[in-house]
Amino acid sequence: MDLAKRTTRKVAGLLQFAIGVASVLLVLFIGSFTRLRADLTSDKRYTLTPATMELVDSLKDVVFVKIYLSGELPADLQRLSTSLRDLLDEMRVRNPDLLQYEFTDPSAGLDEETRNKAYEQLQKEGLQYTSIRTRGKGSQSEVIVWPGAIISFQGKKLPLQLLKSQLRATDAETVNRSINNLEYDLASAIRQITATARAKVAFIEGQGELDRLPVQSLTDALNEQYDVSRVRLDGRIDALSDRPDGVTFRLNKFDAVIVAKPDSLFGEKDRFILDQFVMNGGKVLWALDAMDPHLDSLRVNQFSMATPLELGLDNLLFAYGVRINKNLLLDKQCAPIQLYTRPYGDQPKLETRPFPFEPLITPGGHHPIVANIDPVRLRMASSIDTIGIDSAHSTILLTTSRYTRVLRNPVRISLAVVDMDLGLEQNNTPFQTVAVLTQGKFRSAFADKLDMPDSVLKAIGYREWSRPTAQITISDGDALANPVDRERGTYYPLGYERAARAKIFGNREFFLNAMNYLLDDKSLISIRSRAITLRQLDPHLIETDRVQVQVANVVLPILIGLFGALAFHLLRKRRYTRPDA
C-alpha cells in the first residue's frame, strides 16, 4: 500500500513537472509572436518619443547605421555604446525591416599600417576620434576610440558624431550629455538623410549684420536640417520672393530669414521687402541691438556712453506686436568677463569677474523652445514690450532675474561696475522680457502709408494682411554670435565660455529650438528636450575598495541564489518526507 502511494505521488510529481514545462514552452511560443516591454525607469529613458516613432514608421527604404563605438572601451563610453544599442533596438521594434545597424571596432585585428588607413578613411568620411586615458592600478594607458557612426540611405552617407565634446577628451558628464542627446541626434540624422525636401533659411546681409564667421556655429547646426544661405536685399523686390505669372500674390523663396545684429539703417525699400516676406507667411528671427555700446571706447578708456541705435525697424516691429526699448539692463545673475585688475608684481593681473551688463538668463517657462536648456548668455541687452494685437498673440520666452535694473538712455557703461555694490536686491525692476514669440496674422506696417495706385500694388503682389506666421525677437544681436579667433580664422561653438574652456551656455539650443519651432519642426524640439539623470559611481570608492565592490556585485548575488536554492530544497524535503508508518 505504501509502495502504491509513493508511486502515485511520484507520478503526480512527474505530471506536475511536465505540465509546468509545457506551460513555460507555451508561454515562450506565444511570446515569440508578441513582444511586451515595460519602461520602469523614472525618466523613461527606454521609451521613444512620439516624434521618433513616427519617423521610424515612415521609412520608405532601408536605413543602415554602422557604429564604430565598440571593442575594449572605458566604462563611460561603454555606457554610451550600450545606450545607443538599446535605442536602436527600441527603434527596430517599430520597423525591423527598414532600420538595421552594426557595431564594429575599427582597431580590432589590424596591423598598425592597416589601422592607420582605416582611421584616415573614417576622418575623410567626417568622423573624429577621441583620445582616452585610462587609469588602472598604478598605471595609465591611452587608447583611440571612434565615438561615431555612418548612416547610409539609398547610396548617401551621413556621419554622426556621438560624443558631445568640444575637445578630444571625455568624462562622465560629457558622456551623459551625449546620452541625453542620443535620440535627438540619431533621429535628426535619419530625418536629414531621408528628407526629400528641406526648408530654406537665409541670413540677411547689407546693413552691417554679423558676417559668416561669428554665426558659423549656428549655421553649421542649421545646415544639418535646412538649406542655409545669405542674401542681400539692396532694395530688390525679388530678393526674398517672386511673383510668377498668373499668381495674385508673391511666393517666398525662403521659409525663414534671420536678421543678426545689424548696425545701420534699413532703407524703406528693404523694410518693405521684409514686411511683404512676413505678409506672405515668412518666418523671421530678429536678433537686434537697441543701443550701441561703443565697445571700442570701452576697451580703451574703461568706460563708454551707450546711445540709441537707429535701424529703422521700430515701426515694423511695432506693427508685429513688439517694441525693443532704448535702454540697457543690469542683472545680478550675470556671466563673467576677464579683465586686468591691480598689477601683480611687474604684470597686470587677469581676473574673472561677474559683469552685470551681460545677463545670464535661466529659462523658467514650459514652452518647448526653452524647455530643458542651459542658461542663455546675453550682452548689453534691452527690455522688450509686447503690443496687443487682436489677430496675433505673444509668448514671453526669456526674462531676466528678480535682481534686474533698467538703465535708460543714455547709459554710461564702465568696467568698474564689477567692483560696485549695485544694491540690486532692493533697487530693481525684476523680470524684464528679453525674448518674445509672436504668432498669428499681422497687418502690414505699410498699410495706409503707400502712395501708389492700386494697379501698381496689384502688379507687385502687395498684401495688407499676412498669412498665419510667427516671429521671434531677442533684444541682443550678440546672443547668436559664437566666439571667434580672427587671426586664425577659426571659431568656437555657440555658448562657449573662454574662461571655462568649455561650452556651458544654452544659446545654441535656444536658437535651434527657435528655428525648429518657426519652421514647424516641433517634433525635433520634443526629442531634444529629454533629459536623463546621471547616476555616477564614486571613483574614489571604486579605486580604494575595488575588491569589495567586485565581490559585492559578482560573488554576493551568486551566494544569495545558492542559499535560496538550498533553503527551498530543505523546505521541500521537509514538506514531502513522511515518517514510515
Secondary structure (DSSP) of 361-375: E---S--TTTTT-PP
Out of 520, 547, 571, pick the residue that ends a domain: 520
Across 338-347, 350-359, 430-439, 443-452, least confident range? 338-347
Same domain for 467 and 548, yes or no, is no
Number of domains in the chain: 3
Residues 161, 227: one domain?
Answer: no
- The answer to the question of residue 397 being in a domain is yes
Pairwise pLDDT comparison (314 vs 196), residue with the higher score: 314
2 in a domain, yes or no?
A: no
Same domain? For 240 and 171 the reply is: no
Measured CA to CA, the distance from residue 118 to residue 139 in angstroms comes to: 28
Let me know if residue 5 belongs to a domain. Answer: no
Q: Are residues 205 and 183 in the same domain?
A: no
Tell me which of 85-89, 329-333, 362-366, 515-519 is least confident: 362-366
460 and 555, same domain (yes or no): no
Q: Of 191, 212, 232, which one is at a domain's C-terminal end?
A: 191
- Residue 383 CB contacts under 8 Å (≥ 6 apart), including other chains: 324, 325, 327, 329, 406, 432, 433, 434, 475
**Cell for 2?**
505504501
- Which tens digit of pLDDT belongs to each residue from 94-128? 999 999 999 999 888 777 888 888 888 988 888 88
Bridge partners (DSSP) listed for residue 354: 336
The pLDDT of residue 430 is 93
Does 275 have pLDDT greater than 70?
A: yes
Residues 6+ positions from 33 with CB-CB distance below 8 Å: none
Q: What element of type H or E holds 122? A: helix 112-124
In a domain, 321, yes or no: yes
Spatial contact of 525 and 513, defined as CB atoms under 8 Å apart: yes
Based on the fold, state whether residues 165 and 226 are members of the same structural domain: no
Predicted TM-score (pTM) of this structure: 0.73
Task: Report the pLDDT value the prediction gives residue 334, as an integer from 0 to 100.
Answer: 92
Tell me: pLDDT of 272 over 90.
Answer: yes
Residues 491 and 567 in one domain: no
What is the 8-class DSSP label of residue 225?
A: T
pLDDT tens per residue across span 161-180? 887 654 444 566 677 777 87
Closest C-alpha among 84, 80, 77 to residue 130: 77
Q: Has residue 53 got a pLDDT over 70? A: yes
For 166-310, list the strands marked E by DSSP: 200-205, 227-232, 241-242, 251-252, 256-260, 283-287, 291-292, 303-308
**Region 439-466 average pLDDT:** 90
**Based on the domain organization, do 306 and 439 belong to the same domain?**
yes
Single out the residue of 179, 189, 190 nearest to residue 85, CA to CA.
Answer: 179
**Same-domain status, 148 and 248:** no
Three cell numbers written together for 281: 507667411
- 551 versus 6: the higher-pLDDT residue is 551
Q: Report yes or no on 17 lying in a domain.
A: no
Element (H, E) at 376: strand 376-377
Q: Which pLDDT score is estimated for 484?
A: 94
405-421 pLDDT per residue, tens: 999 999 999 888 887 88
With respect to residue 420, please indicate whether it lies within any of the assigned structural domains: yes
Helices (H), 399-545: 454-460, 507-518, 522-528, 539-544
What percent of the chain has pLDDT above 90? 44
In a domain, 318, yes or no: yes
Containing 3, the helix (H) or strand (E) segment is helix 2-31
pLDDT interval class at 135 (50, 70, 90):
low
The last residue of a domain, from among 191, 211, 241: 191
Give pLDDT, residue 308. Answer: 95
Domain range holding 504? 200-520
Residue 494 and residue 544 in one domain: no
For residue 63, what are the CA distances in angstroms to 56, 91, 144, 155, 337? 10, 12, 27, 10, 46
Q: What average pLDDT does the segment 476-485 reach? A: 95
Q: Which has the higher per-residue pLDDT, 424 or 152? A: 152
Pick the range with the lowest mean pLDDT from 302-311, 482-491, 507-516, 542-551.
542-551
Cα dihedral sign for 114, 118, 119, 120? Answer: positive
Q: Residues 360-406: pLDDT tens digits? A: 999 887 788 988 788 999 999 999 999 999 999 999 999 999 999 99
Phi, psi torsion values for 230, nearest 5 degrees: -125, 145
- Residue 154 maps to a domain: yes
pLDDT (0 to 100) of residue 325: 97
Do residues 331 and 382 share a domain? Answer: yes
User: Looking at residue 131, which CATH number applies to its domain?
Assistant: 3.40.30
Q: According to the model, what pLDDT value does residue 343 have? A: 57
Question: What pLDDT score was predicted for residue 141?
Answer: 66
Half-sphere exposure of 184 (CA within 13 A, CB side): 26
* pLDDT tens digits, 231-254: 999 999 999 999 888 888 999 999
Q: Where are the beta strands (DSSP E) in 195-295?
A: 200-205, 227-232, 241-242, 251-252, 256-260, 283-287, 291-292
**pLDDT of 46:** 62
Question: Do 278 and 244 reside in the same domain of the chain?
Answer: yes
What is the enclosing helix (H) or strand (E) of 240?
Answer: none
